[in-house]
Structure 1
């Protein structure tokens, strides 16, 4: 009874890893075809990054303004 468990588990492991490798290779191959879409993705990432940095800068400025208005000491 216990003799077939390693065979079944190794077979399952090979099937799962083989399927994962197949889809990983297929995904990378498909990504190579999408040169035109890369520009659009980079532009979108740039916009999101710019919005994030500007939001972070605004949050820092509002925080310091609020701290100054409340009379907190922000010096080192």
Structure 2
């Protein structure tokens, strides 16, 4: 029984992910064909997401740096 689990699990996983990808691509394709989509709004939203990502990354780096210094770990590159 346990020998069949990886085969069944990965087959099921491929089917579910494949179906999900098909419908996601189809939905995006159908949305792109609709009239009146505003490119400017999409670019603005993408810029906001990118800015939040970069700020989160910088914040995580700062918190990590402070935590490492607080623990007294060596930060030298040599």
- Relative to the length of structure 1, the TM-score reads 0.55
Matched, 1:30 2:33: yes
**Max radius of gyration: which structure?**
1
1:73 — aligned with what?
74
Question: What is the number of equivalent residue pairs in this alignment?
Answer: 51
**Runs of 5+ unmatched residues, structure 1:** 1-22
Structure with bigger helix share is: 1
Higher relative contact order (CA closer than 8 Å, sequence separation 6+): 1
Shift of 1:30: 2.0
**CA–CA distance in 2 between the matches of 1:34 and 1:46?**
20
Give the superposed CA RMSD: 2.5
**Runs of 5+ unmatched residues, structure 2:** 1-25
Shift of 1:34: 3.9
